[in-house]
Structure 1
Amino acid sequence: MNKRILLIDKDPAVIDVITLLLESEGYQIYVSKKPFEHSEIYDIKPDLILIHNGLANEGSEISKRIKSEPGTSSIPVILTSTNPNIAQIARENGADNYLLKPFDIDELCLLIGKTIKANLC
């Protein structure tokens, strides 16, 4: 069974590129358009959530909410951002990992695989 990834981003170009890339790697991608509805997590049951932390830091708030609720706290979260403080933001909001934009596509694939694998152990 393919691993399911919930992608939360508002940039259609980024969504298209990441979706195409990750589907070619065998992942099943679900896209959440803004505004994000927490109930989507229960419907999709993702193995990982990839969130862009935009200018308003809405991604970090989504991560914090996911990690604070018992039904979703075990789902690994990766935050992406152009903010050079993304490591601290990720740590403070419960994200399992982070990636500074712009990033290399191979780096994204490796990080997703590593994060999902770490969650299985």
Structure 2
Amino acid sequence: MTSTTREEAPVVLQAEGVEVRTQEIGGGMSVLYLSAVKGTDFGPALEGLPDGLCQCPHWGFLAKGRIRLRTKDGEETYEAGQTYYWSAGHAPEALEDSELAEFSPTGELDEVLAHVKAQMG
């Protein structure tokens, strides 16, 4: 088994108001720590993926803020203190300054992160 803290996980993406840290923790899973300022919309960075949505499932905990999650079926809002499962096919937007930790299959997560990095240039 492997464990990591937010500070130990390497930064894999940093842009204006966004920081993503991720670390493989074993069993084909990675932990991802995200900080995003209010107004951050990941929709544009997901353009080019099927339906313009993230194709990686995530199990997580929203530690701070509020997130609107758009899917083909509509929208849901998540608030600090909630745990969640987001299936493939979603696009998050930070309605407040937000921080979360989530667990995802490493291969799928790496594919989405590579796409987002390329979109952000």
TM normalised by structure 2 equals 0.31
The structure richer in strand per residue is 2
The structure richer in helix per residue is 1
Asked which structure has the greater RCO (Cα within 8 Å, sep 6+), the reply is 2
TM normalised by structure 1 equals 0.31
